[in-house]
Amino acid sequence: MTYTFDQRIDRRQFESIKWHRYGEDVLPMWVADMDFRAAEPIIRALHERVEHGVFGYGSAPDELREVVVDRLRECYDWRVSPESLMFLPGVVPGFNLACHALASRGDGVLIQTPVYRPILNAPANAGLVGEEMALTRQSDGTYAIDFDLFERTISDRTRIFILCNPHNPVGRVFRRDELQRMAEICLHHDVIICSDEIHCDLLLDDNVHTPIAALAPEIGQRVITLMAPSKTYNIAGLKCSVAIVENPELRERIKTTHQGLMSSVNVLGYAAALAAYRHGQPWLEAVLQYLEGNRDWLLSYVERELPGITMGKPEGTYLAWLSCHQTAIPGNPYAFFLERANVALVDGEVFGEVGEGFVRLNFGCPRPMLVEALRRMRKALNTLTETSRG
């Protein structure tokens, strides 16, 4: 079927963190879920499951395991056994679980900043120490890895490296050679990699995702990979993700740790995930084309109409990382745009100290909503300019 994404859907009539946190006059461009209706095959599968009428405890369907294993082989030439899959109610619980299972109080966790806030907070949640290394911002607004700094940041207490790829918030899809170098350093220092790859299907242009665990068998034995259909197919509220853990010892440590502490995936989450992976590709291809259009329109508008704001070109995700350092904004740009433009973004400071002066904008929305938000932001910036002239 043909999908169109320009329609603005009223989400305030139902529960929505995105649309209920701020007042009705505020456009929410913050939390990372899209304002698009899910693919029809997913909706049909949910209807069928609801019509059954019995909602007891569920378990991962064998066919879902088979679909995920087939998908990993077809997309990445990565061959894993069905036993390597662990279904969890979210990627965030997944990397928090890894911190609890694979390190002891006081151990270190390597993190690349700026980074998704739950990753930033995960070490402290488990009584561990976050060891932060900053990604290097380049002149075009994109980010690179300083591998010497990466290795120097690893200490005697470092046990885990939490990788975010594609990266939230900077939008990088790390190249194979970059992943290879990070993996080699981690293997040399006996550091386990926990890789958050939740945005792995949201690739823009011709960018290619490579799971770090798929680089080589010896690397795969030291990696916990976290994936999900949630961001890809806009079904985050259904809470279904998968951890791929090839090493039986690591898998057993994770299973033992999560017993009694983490709930299983609910039956609707399983139904939606299976339908998404089986039948969601046409919808995904359409939404990626739409997101590329939004991204390109956003890049052009920022350059032409938002003086002092710059951004790198996202290679993946539907998130834009905007630098406001060259504007005349007094104080925090997140607070400025919320108060002066009625646009809710994400404060860059929540991604680490290096995020000061940035905001993150979600462009996974109907184009008219994106246009309205940016015009509000332009008007607020123009008011600053007029005030300074006056």
* φ/ψ of residue 316, rounded to 5: -155, 175
Is the Cβ–Cβ distance between 120 and 113 less than 8 Å? Answer: yes
Please tell me the predicted confidence (pLDDT) of residue 78: 98
pLDDT at 263: 81
Per residue in 98-116, pLDDT (tens digit) is: 999 999 999 999 999 999 9
The confidence score (pLDDT) of residue 305 equals 97
> In Å, how far are 30, 105, 164, 187, 312 from 360, measured between CA atoms?
7, 32, 16, 33, 12
pLDDT computed for residue 260 by the predictor: 74
Predicted local confidence at residue 2, as pLDDT: 81
CATH number of the domain located at residue range(s) 17-40+281-383 in this protein:
3.90.1150.10
pLDDT given at position 353: 97
- For the whole prediction, is pTM greater than 0.75? yes
Q: Which CATH class is domain 56-279?
A: alpha beta
Helix (H) or strand (E) holding 28: strand 27-28
Query: What are the sequence ranges of the domains in the chain?
Result: 17-40+281-383, 56-279
Within 10 A of 208 (CB to CB), how many other CB atoms are there? 12
Spans of the chain, pLDDT less than 70:
386-390
